[in-house]
Amino acid sequence: MPDSYQVGVIGARGHTGAELMRILGAHPQVEVALAGSRELAGQPVPSIDALEYESIGPDEVTTRHLDALFLALPDGVGGPWTDAVSTDTVIVDISADHRFDDEWVYGLPELHRDKIAGARRIANPGCYATALQLAIAPFVDWIEASPTVFGVSGYSGAGTTPSPRNDPENLADNLIPYRLTGHNHEREGIRYLGHPIRFMPHVHPVFRGLLVTVHMPLAAPTTVGAAHAEMAQMYDNEPLVNVQEDIPTLRDGTGLTGVIIGGTTVTEDGLGLTVVAVEDNLLKGAAVQAVQNLNLALGIPETSGIL
């Protein structure tokens, strides 16, 4: 194993790209050799000494001999980089472009760790998809009908391109529902959990943080104690998943490296189970998970540079 791996980030200016640069800059086994951003070209990268942002195209990236490349780009624009870069180079794509592509590995380590190890093409999950899958996964065999997921996130999840969902004036004292059917993250949950899900996302006037409240109809009655024990057993050895008894709040997830799942509640007849999961949409929902995937792909300890 090399002492240090050469990595690059395309889309280093965005919210997720900036978090990636900060994490990678402190990673003990990684050297950031490329920070791609047309808008900031020539300016110094704040979190990494002696590195400047570059305006760079796919063909030039291939001359850099990188061990890994992160694509922190909007959906639908990363194709030229994935086409150009050698299949020996690890690509972690944070967009939605390859989450439904069988030629790419879906990078949710807690559920797909064995497939990610050694992979060279990894599709980072969506932020909501991460939280809702981790909340539902312990109970997939218990569920009778579609779980209902109510989600709320900060407006950083809407990216940097101006829209009503990241406009502070529009968000002030407001809660905005959007894409109430067929959301990509709903489709991810359905595909990788193998079970129907109904997901309703909302954005509110904070910058970051994410919360999902998940209600699951069950085939047989359960208790709070049994449900909590099932979650705790599944995630007992997961360094980035914390199972607790109390209901976590959105603020608890803000700035958090991992995910908190808690607030286990059961209906009077035992046939309805509710849990709450919180995370930071830019961290475990994006950049932290991307680095977790990089570590697994390269054979580095999974939490290196994260914990």
pLDDT tens-digit readout, 5-29:
999 999 999 999 999 999 999 999 9
pLDDT tens-digit readout, 29-40:
999 999 999 999
pLDDT tens-digit readout, 58-87:
999 999 999 999 999 999 999 999 999 999
Catalytic residue positions? Answer: 127
Confidence band, pLDDT 50/70/90 cuts, at residue 148: very high
Dihedral angle over CA of 216, 111, 196, 186, nearest 10: 100
The pTM of the full predicted model, rounded to 2 decimals, is: 0.95
pLDDT of residue 216: 98
Shortest CA distance to 10 belongs to which of 35, 33, 30? Answer: 35
Do residues 20 and 71 make contact, with C-beta atoms less than 8 angstroms apart?
Answer: no
pLDDT of residue 2: 74
Is pLDDT of 262 > 70? yes
Residues 6+ apart with CB under 8 A from 111: 133, 134, 137, 192
Q: Which DSSP letter does residue 286 get?
A: I
Do residues 285 and 210 make contact, with C-beta atoms less than 8 angstroms apart?
Answer: yes
Q: What φ, ψ does residue 216 adopt, rounded to 5°?
A: -125, 120
Among 45-54, 96-105, 132-141, which stretch is predicted with the lowest mean pLDDT?
Answer: 45-54
Q: What CA–CA distance (Å, rounded) separates 190 from 11?
A: 29
Question: Which whole number is the average pLDDT over 134-141?
Answer: 98
pLDDT of residue 160: 67
pLDDT of residue 166: 83
Burial of 292 (0-12, 13-18, 19+ CB in 10 A): buried
Instruction: Tell me how far the alpha carbon of residue 267 is from its chain's centroid.
Output: 30
pLDDT tens-digit readout, 80-110:
999 999 999 999 999 999 999 999 999 999 9
For the chain, the average pLDDT equals 95
User: Which two structure tokens, joined as six digits, stand for 165?
Assistant: 């969902």
Q: Which DSSP letter does residue 283 get?
A: I
Shortest CA distance to 261 belongs to which of 122, 126, 93, 135? Answer: 135
pLDDT of residue 165: 82
Q: What CA–CA distance (Å, rounded) separates 33 from 51?
A: 8
Do residues 197 and 136 make contact, with C-beta atoms less than 8 angstroms apart?
Answer: yes
Q: Find the farthest-apart pair of alpha carbons in the chain and give their distance in angstroms, rounded.
A: 63
Is pLDDT of 169 > 90? no
- Domains in the chain (CATH in brackets) are 5-125+285-298 (3.40.50.720), 127-281 (3.30.360.10)
Query: The tokens 């965005």 sit on which residue?
Result: 14
Do residues 48 and 35 make contact, with C-beta atoms less than 8 angstroms apart?
Answer: yes
SS3 112: helix
Q: Which DSSP letter does residue 262 get?
A: E
pLDDT tens-digit readout, 173-209:
999 999 899 999 999 999 999 999 999 999 999 999 9
**CA 73, 79, 85, 90 torsion-angle sign:** positive
